[in-house]
Structure 1
Amino acid sequence: MNIFYNREGVGDTLMIQMSSQDAEVRGVEKKGDMARIFDAESEKTLGYNLFNASKYLNIESENGAVAVNSGFVDHFNKLLKDKGFTDTLTYDDRPSFIIGHVLEKGKHPNADKLSICKVDIGDETLQIVCGAPNVEQGQKVVVARVGAVMPSGMLIKEAELRGVPSFGMICSAKELDLPNAPEKKGILVLDNNQPVGGNFFALTENH
């Protein structure tokens, strides 16, 4: 789930993306200031737009990304119910930039410069296709989960790279906008004592 709000750029509209799936034909169901966007073929909900959002919610955003907590999600779910929609949002308190442990590294069948990695992030193992030349089994790394917004503004989505599904990104220091990041291509490799599942930026701020 991704939530965006940019009043200057878009207007007073809160946009919630519930699925990274692309639909060939999208439908819209509008009830008052709330609009549900869905896949017209499968009827699956893709997201919601809340117009005149500042009337309903106190919204804090940075670079368009909204700071979300359980109270925000509870309030929005009440709005959904009040408007007559049946969906509910689920609060995920895991960090967007999470410390992972590379359990496996394998060759990509269709690309010599890509690797298929299995990365433990604490409560699940993600398959991530990685193009970094220095990624290796056993490393502690920073994973941008699906839904994370990079410092550049890029949204991390589920992807398929040369025919292989990928669920997140193993990050470089430059991609994380860290000071003195090297120009040389390669992921950021962390000290081995970093806790799997930890919030990378929170741990960085505490050191």
Structure 2
Amino acid sequence: MIAIYNTHLTDVLMLITGDNQGEKLTATRIGNVTKISRQDNGETVAWNFFDVSTLFPISENGQVTLTAENIDKLNVEIKTAGFSDRLVLDTKPKFVVGEIVELVAHPDSDHLNIAQVRVSEDETIQIVAGAPNARVGLKTIVALPGSMMPNGALIFAGQLRGVASFGMMASPRELALPNAPQKRGIIELALSEVVGTAFDSAKHWHK
């Protein structure tokens, strides 16, 4: 779940809960709550909550972090509006230390690779990437599905040249790190970094 607050849209909190994958959307507004769903399968992909500052204190524009109490209040609004959905707070970090454990060339590209990336002690995901410095054993920062990059790009599971990809290995520039080199290549971390650790710019970037 990605939460975005924007006072320029008159006190609106937008929650992105799924990937519309380019499909047409339909919006249903009841009171101060709008449910946004895919037309093809009815899946809920987003919510808009108007006048949200009347529910709990909020002021910072851009991506915001919600608490369990915030989610409870939003669920009350959803129920009061007559929707049957229920939001579930996801507290897992979306930017984590990952380690490339396998790398093979993409069968339909001369610059992409298919990487198996360990993102926790018991989870390995597949990521299609074109970083020239990607190699087995490299530790880097992985943006998991459901994350939002500093430039506003949303990361969801998808396909690149017909191969499934479940996240993105990020460069210093993509992470908006200070003095990031303006060239291609994912961030390279010390081998001592622990897989699954949440990204911390102060800890993981020293240039």
Q: Give the TM-score taking structure 1 as reference length.
A: 0.88
Please report how far the alpha carbon of residue 131 of structure 1 lies from its aligned counterpart in structure 2 after TM superposition: 0.7
Find the counterpart in structure 1 of residue 142 from structure 2. Answer: 143
Cα distance between partner residues in 1 of 2:28 and 2:78 = 12
Find the counterpart in structure 2 of residue 115 from structure 1. Answer: 113
Q: Percent identity?
A: 38
User: Residue 98 of structure 1 is aligned with which of 96, 99, 103?
Assistant: 96
Find the counterpart in structure 2 of residue 85 from structure 1. Answer: 83
Find the counterpart in structure 1 of residue 38 from structure 2. Answer: 39
1:5 aligns with 2:5: yes
Q: Which amino acid aligns with 1:2?
A: I
Cα distance between partner residues in 2 of 1:57 and 1:115 = 45
Please report how far the alpha carbon of residue 136 of structure 1 lies from its aligned counterpart in structure 2 after TM superposition: 0.9
Find the counterpart in structure 1 of residue 63 from structure 2. Answer: 65
Cα distance between partner residues in 2 of 1:14 and 1:50 = 5
Find the counterpart in structure 1 of residue 164 from structure 2. Answer: 165
SS at match of 2:182: coil
Q: Give the TM-score taking structure 2 as reference length.
A: 0.88
> Are 1:15 and 1:50, in contact at CA under 8 Å, matched by a contact in 2?
yes
Alignment root-mean-square deviation, CA: 2.2
Please report how far the alpha carbon of residue 205 of structure 1 lies from its aligned counterpart in structure 2 after TM superposition: 7.8
Cα distance between partner residues in 1 of 2:137 and 2:101 = 6
Gaps of 5+ in 1: none
Indicate how the Cα distance of structure 1 residues 151 and 183 shifts in structure 2: closer, same or farther if over 3 A, else same.
same
Please report how far the alpha carbon of residue 25 of structure 1 lies from its aligned counterpart in structure 2 after TM superposition: 3.3
SS at match of 1:72: helix
Find the counterpart in structure 2 of residue 14 from structure 1. Answer: 13
Indicate how the Cα distance of structure 1 residues 107 and 85 shifts in structure 2: closer, same or farther if over 3 A, else same.
same
Cα distance between partner residues in 2 of 1:181 and 1:206 = 9
Indicate how the Cα distance of structure 1 residues 55 and 200 shifts in structure 2: closer, same or farther if over 3 A, else same.
same
Q: Which amino acid aligns with 1:6?
A: N
> Are 2:13 and 2:49, in contact at CA under 8 Å, matched by a contact in 1?
yes
